[in-house]
Amino acid sequence: MKLGILMDPISAIKVHKDSSFAMLLAAQARDWQLYYLEQSDLLLRDGDAFARLRKLHVQDDPAAWFELGEADEQPLASLDILLMRKDPPVDMEFIATTLILDRVQAAGTRVVNHPASLRDISEKLYTAWFPQCCPATLVSRDRSQFLNFLETHGDIILKPLFGMGGESIFHLQAGDDNTNVMLETLTDHGRRFAMAQRYIPEIRAGDKRILLIEGEPVPYALARIPAAGEARGNLAAGGRGEGIPLTDRDRWICAQVGPTLAAKGVAFAGLDVIGDYLTEINVTSPTCIRELDRQYGLDIAGDLLDRLADPHP
């Protein structure tokens, strides 16, 4: 098998927690050939997608974790599987990249996740397709709508639609003197959509990341527990990761969401669940593989690759 990975610079990753790196280790353990590219290596010529590909070797050593060969321009159709693991933001360059990857998929290479679904599934907005799983939620640009939502619920979370890692997430309570400036900041004075959700107190027990492989959940979640004085559980915001078994409610949420994701070609996803409620559906570059593998002796990336390699799933 020839596997390519499109990602942010591999030189800057943290190997002990990087899920893309876990996928590369699992592929190499299966004697697959690895090829590396970044967005700047892509090109489209007369309808065919090419890239400057570099052969890649990885090793689980935090001092020296990769070796790259010389760049060689090749058609991306020469790959069996291409992992699209570019981190957000989902900006117009990201969208253009997925359009190029549409041509790769059309040529017979399996692109994971499906390029059209990377465009269609906005990680925060797509929860609206599963309202039965979610807390009270509002998406708007209108300050008065947010003020009414705050008055109704008294305690809410505000977040931008296209952030990651807990960036620009605010915990807002009725009567807060900073209410107006928070709304002005997130909506850019009414020129940008933002999201509000009812605050879920169970965040203190952790913001659970549940990983799905072709719609089926890994049996354990990583509860990302906020640091003292924080309302965000994101590991990038200082949260602490603790593995926990899935609850019956977690499995119910997965059963609601998983089949739709699998049908849309989303082979690997991460659901964010706080208490009993779905808050986000992550499809761009979900993480937490390495943490769960270490705590439970799993091989999540290996399970994913085995599913991808099976011509008769």
DSSP string, 163-182: --TTTT-EEEETT-TTHHHH
DSSP class of 310 = -
As a whole number, mean pLDDT of residues 233-252 equals 84
As a whole number, mean pLDDT of residues 3-31 equals 97
The top-level CATH class assigned to 136-199 is alpha beta
Read off the tokens for 162: 């296209």
pLDDT of residue 156 exceeding 80: yes
Distance of CA 302 to the CA centre of its chain: 18
Candidate list 207, 214, 250, 272, residue with the active-site label:
272
Helix, strand, coil shares of the chain as percentages rounded to 5?
35, 30, 35
Q: Which residues contact 165 (CB under 8 A, 6 or more apart)?
A: 234, 235, 236, 237
224 is catalytic: yes
pLDDT of residue 162: 85
178 is catalytic: no
Candidate list 85, 103, 159, 264, residue with the active-site label:
159
- pLDDT category at 227 given cuts 50, 70, 90 is confident
Candidate list 124, 208, 264, 290, residue with the active-site label:
124
- Long-range CB pairs of 7-11 (<8 Å, 24+ gap) are 7/36, 7/38, 7/83, 7/85, 7/86, 7/285, 8/38, 8/85, 8/86, 8/87, 9/38, 10/36, 10/56, 10/65, 10/66, 10/68, 11/66
Candidate list 123, 280, 291, 293, residue with the active-site label:
280
280 is catalytic: yes
86 is catalytic: no
Whether 136-199 shares its CATH topology with 202-308 is answered no
pLDDT of residue 59: 97
CA–CA separation, 60 and 231 (whole Å):
33
Candidate list 282, 290, 291, 293, residue with the active-site label:
282
pLDDT of residue 236 exceeding 70: no
Candidate list 224, 234, 250, 293, residue with the active-site label:
224
Higher pLDDT: 206 or 268? It is 268
CA–CA separation, 135 and 203 (whole Å):
13
pLDDT of residue 240 exceeding 90: no
Q: Element (H or E) spanning 246, and its range?
A: none
Q: Is 151 exposed, middle or buried (0-12, 13-18, 19+ CB in 10 A)?
A: exposed
pLDDT of residue 229: 65
Which of 214, 239, 241, 225 minimizes the C-alpha distance to 300?
214
pLDDT of residue 313 exceeding 50: no
CA–CA separation, 252 and 255 (whole Å):
5
For the chain, domain boundaries? 2-115, 136-199, 202-308
- pLDDT category at 167 given cuts 50, 70, 90 is confident
Q: Which CATH architecture has domain 2-115?
A: 3-Layer(aba) Sandwich (3.40)
User: What's the chain's average pLDDT?
Assistant: 94
pLDDT of residue 239 exceeding 90: no
Candidate list 86, 103, 232, 290, residue with the active-site label:
232
As a whole number, mean pLDDT of residues 249-268 equals 98
Beta bridge partners of 242: 223
- Give the whole-number percent of the chain exceeding pLDDT 90: 89
pLDDT of residue 237 exceeding 70: no
209 is catalytic: yes
Tally Cβ neighbours within 10 Å of residue 176: 13
Q: Which fold has domain 202-308?
A: D-amino Acid Aminotransferase; Chain A, domain 1 (3.30.470)
CA–CA separation, 143 and 215 (whole Å):
37
As a whole number, mean pLDDT of residues 55-65 equals 97
pLDDT of residue 273 exceeding 70: yes
272 is catalytic: yes
Distance of CA 144 to the CA centre of its chain: 31
CB burial readout 284-305, b (16+ within 10 A) else e? bbbbbbbbbbeeeebebbbbbb
pLDDT of residue 128: 97
pLDDT of residue 311 exceeding 80: no
Candidate list 54, 85, 86, 209, residue with the active-site label:
209
